[in-house]
Structure 1
Amino acid sequence: MNTVLGPVPAEELGIVAVHEHIGYGMPGSELDATWWKTPEERYAETVPKLRRFHERGGGTFVDVTGICNGRDVDYYRSLSAKTGVHIVACTGFVGGDTALPFFERAGVDYLARQFVHEITVGIGGTGARAGVIKVGVSRGGRMTELDKRIYRAAARAAVTTGVPILTHLAIDPEPAVAIFAEEGLPLHRVLFGHADDGVNAPNTPDVWIAEQGGRIGFDTFGYETELEDPPFWARPRKERLDHFLGFVGKGFLDQALVSADANCSPLGWPGVKGHTVNYIFDDLIPDLRAAGLDEATLTRLLHDNPAGFLTIQD
């Protein structure tokens, strides 16, 4: 598997947070004085969270901050060396509506070559290779023509390189499933994300996607209506947990992955006070144990499933 400091064998990944952000923002937010931060300020916010993650048994942090959204691979390399956490960077876009005009006007072949280059050669001049491809559904609830172009390019890059695809939202999945089939990409190489958030869960056919062979991301754990100032995509803690347990209870444990979708040091996106990647250890694992999941099941969920997903396949 590709990390920002080089390849790492699957058995060394430890517990994996498969959908997280070092620092996410919309294009241009880095030019807004509200979000200007010195490197020292960003380190002060981020390093303690990653160190605590590592101390609790967290081995790998998958950063799914796409192109144009604040991705900073040199910074990731420094954080990984400083904290001992394996960091996986992505290529691709959070959604078509986050692609700057240069990429918005690009064709499928160009986008596919961009993704392949970042996976096989490196991102920019860093030499660090992307380990996953990010794609997403733009705001509005339906895949746009640009989204479909990006999905097709991502599918071609995934088939060429063997790295998996991770999606932002799992709503309107039929066009995505059709594109992946047309490009010859098996659906077990795709993680359909945010199946559990409060806004999109009612419109996400998670069981149908799983029946087609796709993986499902329950990856907004911790965004709860019980928070003092919950975000608009929050959901009651028990309702989200029951949704997840119900999905697993239908026989889809091996297709389920979990994460917190936290933002270590927000850039142009406010984040949520008190919500970090460490929700996985502080609350999620205790909740799953209390619900009756044994240690072997937790290992499958937090290590085996993401390791199998992230492993580069021929």
Structure 2
Amino acid sequence: MSRVNTVLGPIAPEELGLVAVHEHIGYGMPGSELDTQWWKSPEQRYAETVPKLRAFAEHSAAYGGATFVDATGICNGRDVDYYKSLSAKTGVHIVAATGFVGGDTALRFFADASVDYLMRQFLHEITVGIGDTGSRAGIIKVGVSRGFKMKELDLRIYRAAARAALLSGVPIFTHLAVDVEPALAVFAEEGLPLDRVLFGHADDGVSQGKVNQTAILDGGGRIGFDTFGYDLELPDPPFWGRHRAERLEHFLGLVRGGYLDQVLASADANCSPLGWPGVKGHTVNYIFEQLIPDLRAEGVDEATISRIFVTNPADFLTLQH
């Protein structure tokens, strides 16, 4: 039976509904939980998070369900028991990730590990469970470290992820789509089809001019426009922001240019940031409040919107054996 791993157990792809494919329940750099400035009680985190997820569920009801893919991974604040409670409370399916946002977020224990060790870590979290939660990861996170260049540890993680993906059937998504040629080489050497990889943040402002979009798309890879809402028009925009119209035009160029089945979209919002204030007013619900209305205003029909947010992510997240 086709299935997708969620924190409350496997579900059929048809149950996913609308999918926000790259989001965060609570992301922070390793060690942020030790900084007294940013301590948050469980009550504070729930108060910040539950209304956002409930609104997401309400918005998504017309699509048959709501699914939130958490891109946090190991060492950055992942809390699967918390995710399970949120999912039960709000009705939102939550997919947890194994893997790392980038080599520079892997604590020393993992940074010194071999490819085989990392592969077995990922595989255990996918097939047995994450810690003692009983929940299985549904996707693997990998990433490019700061500096926009693959480092040796990044490539070790990518190789381990490719092997775990082939053995388990789960897909991979990346943090950044820059310096992609070494990643493409690793995936080719390991025999992983590129349609099992979503190259993320291809739309952020600081990545422009650094993404070999042609190599990804022509190889069959998927492109993530997943920083929607981080607009330079915000009162206090983040450094990775981009003009809203420019991002939308870039996205529509792929949608209308024959790559509809290879694009996915999300907001990369942080429900309750850890160790940093986040971006005020930016939530997963930007998808409904701004992005989908913008697409409709540009003449994108409902069938195409459904492909982007329902069909494409369901195909991507379904375990492949």
Q: TM-score, normalised by structure 1?
A: 0.99
Q: Deviations over 1:223-263 (max 9, x none)?
A: 00110100000001000000101122221000000000000
Q: Deviations over 1:157-203 (max 9, x none)?
A: 00000000000000000110110111110000000000000000221
CA distance in 2, matches of 1:175, 1:206: 14
Residue 288 in 1 paired to residue 269 in 2? no
Residue 17 in 1 paired to residue 20 in 2? yes
Q: Deviations over 1:112-132 (max 9, x none)?
A: 000000000000000100000
Task: Find the counterpart in structure 2 of residue 173 from structure 1.
Answer: 180
Write the letter of the residue equivalent to 2:149: R
- After the TM superposition, list the runs of 4 or more consecutive aligned residues in structure 1 that deviate by more than 6 angstroms: none
CA distance in 2, matches of 1:215, 1:226: 28
Task: Find the counterpart in structure 1 of residue 141 from structure 2.
Answer: 134
Residue 31 in 1 paired to residue 45 in 2? no
Offset of residue 269 of structure 1: 2.7
CA distance in 1, matches of 2:314, 2:306: 11
CA distance in 1, matches of 2:246, 2:303: 24
CA distance in 2, matches of 1:153, 1:270: 33
Task: Find the counterpart in structure 1 of residue 309 from structure 2.
Answer: 302
Residue 81 in 1 paired to residue 84 in 2? no
Task: Find the counterpart in structure 2 of residue 266 from structure 1.
Answer: 273
User: SS where residue 205 of structure 2 aligns?
Assistant: coil
CA distance in 2, matches of 1:225, 1:25: 23
CA distance in 2, matches of 1:269, 1:23: 10
Write the letter of the residue equivalent to 2:7: V
CA distance in 2, matches of 1:144, 1:208: 20
Gaps of 5+ in 1: none
Task: Find the counterpart in structure 2 of residue 98 from structure 1.
Answer: 105
Write the letter of the residue equivalent to 2:214: V
Between 47-56 and 245-254, the greater mean CA deviation after superposition: 245-254
User: SS where residue 167 of structure 2 aligns?
Assistant: helix
Identify which of 3, 6, 21 aligns with 1:3: 6
Residue 276 in 1 paired to residue 276 in 2? no
Q: TM-score, normalised by structure 2?
A: 0.97
Task: Find the counterpart in structure 2 of residue 208 from structure 1.
Answer: 215
User: SS where residue 19 of structure 1 aligns?
Assistant: strand
Task: Find the counterpart in structure 2 of residue 51 from structure 1.
Answer: 54
CA distance in 2, matches of 1:249, 1:173: 24
CA distance in 2, matches of 1:108, 1:254: 32
Offset of residue 207 of structure 1: 2.8
Gaps of 5+ in 2: none
Task: Find the counterpart in structure 1 of residue 318 from structure 2.
Answer: 311
Give percent identity, aligned residues only: 75
User: SS where residue 262 of structure 1 aligns?
Assistant: coil
Write the letter of the residue equivalent to 1:104: A
Q: Deviations over 1:55-95 (max 9, x none)?
A: 01161000010100000000000000000000000000000
Contact 1:216–1:257 (8 Å) recurs in 2: yes
Task: Find the counterpart in structure 2 of residue 237 from structure 1.
Answer: 244
CA distance in 2, matches of 1:140, 1:275: 25
Write the letter of the residue equivalent to 1:83: T
Residue 68 in 1 paired to residue 81 in 2? no
Task: Find the counterpart in structure 2 of residue 118 from structure 1.
Answer: 125
Contact 1:151–1:176 (8 Å) recurs in 2: yes
Task: Find the counterpart in structure 1 of residue 192 from structure 2.
Answer: 185
Task: Report the aligned-residue RMSD.
Answer: 0.6
